[in-house]
Amino acid sequence: MSVQEIIHTMALTRIPRLSLVSSRMLYEAMGSATAVFEHRKHIRDAIPEATDKLVEVLQDVDDASVAYASTMRLIRSC
């Protein structure tokens, strides 16, 4: 598992209003936490059966979560 994937996995568990069970289901459906973050704005393209609530929660994931993951990648590479 890459450092990027580890960081995205950690960030996935910290998305507000997303339970750990839902995080795990997303992870399993997408194959990786990185894929979840890459497709978060268009999750129904990857998971057509995604609920309206899930779509809303992922749409609300601001760039702070992505920035966190990017920052951690940068820190780890130093």
Integer Cα distance of 50 and 47 in angstroms: 6
The pTM assigned to this predicted structure is 0.77
Q: What is the pLDDT of residues 26-59, one digit of tens each?
A: 999 999 999 999 999 999 999 999 999 999 999 8
Mean pLDDT of 62-68: 65
* Angle in degrees, 0-180, between the axes of helices 3-12 and 20-30, rounded to the nearest 10: 140
Domain total in the chain: 1
**Full residue range of the structural domain in which residue 73 is found:** 3-77
pLDDT > 90: what percent of the chain? 49
